[in-house]
Amino acid sequence: MDTSSPRKLLSAIRRALRNRFPLCYGMRGTAPINPAFGSAEGTPVDRFYIERFLDRERARITGTVLEIGDRGYTERFGGGVTRSDVLSAAADEGVTYVGDLASCPEIPSDTYDCVVLTQTLHYLRNMSAGVSELARILKPGGSVLCTVPGISQVSRFDMDRWGDRWRLTSLSAKELFSESFAPEDVSVDTYGNALASVCFLQGVPAERISQTKLDRQEPDYQLIVAVRATKARHA
């Protein structure tokens, strides 16, 4: 008796169910469905929220812009950019400055209209020093657009190279940036809810979650903490 066809059918049904109900299947064990944040199958949930934040703030990504890591978001969300620089911890093609955000004297003060800083600040041993440098290198009236993780797994790639140290809340982010910027010039938003957080930890990409569920924001489940801090103009 040939059982290959029923087996193939059963296998196809299981695959369809896994795709339709990833959490039901993935949470039967202790390992995540996808340990690479879901990036292999779509957009990681944290990046979905980061890009929503940058899209909302795109008018600030203009003039002279510094992005940390690469210039991908500057190119995607910027408009009227006259100079696009990159600060990175490692030398690579397109990198303007190689160094540490917590101490980058090679970057002149009052240089940038905008600094785009996504998912990087929490790697620094001294986050306060990093925020102080951001305030120094911004032009008066310039803004930093920063995102940090609230709920997240450890990034093993970063942990093994320079360290994955901190997770922030809306309160700690406000307090941190208010050390170097006027508190009234610091705006903090949070993105996420319980379902989005579980999906992110399991590696379920944003494309598998309904837009309605992603849109719901629950302040006690801060998957992403987003900060806009503007440097005061000189009197």
Q: Is 41 left (phi over 0), alpha (psi -120 to 50) or beta?
A: alpha
Mean pLDDT of the chain: 91
For residue range 129-143, what is the model confidence (pLDDT) as tens digits?
999 999 999 999 999
Cα separation values, 193 from 21, 151, 156, 221, Å:
18, 10, 24, 5
Q: Taking 60 as the threshold, does the pLDDT of residue 76 lie above it?
A: yes
Q: What is the pLDDT confidence band of residue 31, given thresholds at 50, 70 and 90?
A: confident
Task: Please give the structure tokens belonging to residue 25.
Answer: 């299947």
For residue range 100-126, what is the model confidence (pLDDT) as tens digits?
999 999 999 999 999 999 999 999 999
Across the chain, how many H-helices and E-strands are there?
A: 9, 7
Q: Taking 50 as the threshold, does the pLDDT of residue 1 lie above it?
A: no
Q: Are 96 and 86 in contact (CB under 8 A)?
A: yes
User: Which CATH topology does 33-230 take?
Assistant: Rossmann fold (3.40.50)
Strands of 41-124, DSSP E = 63-68, 81-88, 97-98, 112-118
> Which residues are CB-neighbours of 1 under 8 A, at least 6 positions away?
none
Percentage of residues in the chain having pLDDT higher than 90? 80
Q: What is the pLDDT confidence band of residue 235, given thresholds at 50, 70 and 90?
A: very low
CA dist 174 and 228 (Å) reads 10
CA dist 77 and 150 (Å) reads 23
User: Parallel, antiparallel, or unpaired for β 186-191 and 224-230?
Assistant: antiparallel
Q: Are 65 and 83 in contact (CB under 8 A)?
A: yes
